[in-house]
Amino acid sequence: MKNFFYLTMIGLLVFSCNNQSGNNSTEETKKQIEEAVEVSLAQLAESPKSYEGKIMVKGMVTHVCKHGGQKMFLTNESQDANMLIRVSSSIPEFEVALEGSTVEITGKLIATLNTPDKGAGHSEGEEEADCAAEENINAKSKDNKNGEEMSYHIEALSFEEIN
């Protein structure tokens, strides 16, 4: 009987610790969203290095990758600035139905060093249009200082459809 009691107590302790860490993750995400700086897509396209960190952008969804919904592309009203948006652990996928709608994205701007053998790549069998769309976005978000080619994307912590 003592063994049952001890095993039950250990199980409750483990469960309560796991439950608390889940809440901390949610609280941390909420805090990051509250700290986000609002910035336009044009400002990001002009000088992305200035905005690395938590940001909020608004734009029209021009494309959602149909295989898994892991990426979407935003543009501004004049369609002269674009940005790649990727899902995070807090968002499992973007719905294809978002194409053509305006959304507000809160997330982290992330810089990636481009290397010759590193492609952004899609899964085998994905449409050519997906790859062309991503190459177009990356070309417009390069930072060529010091000979490094950087591409930028936003890892979305939350998003809201606005219409």
At 69-128, the pLDDT tens digits run 999 999 999 989 999 999 998 898 999 999 999 999 999 999 888 765 544 444 444 444
Kindly report the pTM of this predicted structure.
0.66
Contact 71, 84 (CB under 8 A): yes
Q: For the domain 37-162, what is the CATH superfamily, name and number?
A: Nucleic acid-binding proteins (2.40.50.140)
Domain positions in the chain: 1-34, 37-162
CB atoms within 10 A of CB 115: 8
At 19-37, the pLDDT tens digits run 333 444 566 656 656 778 9
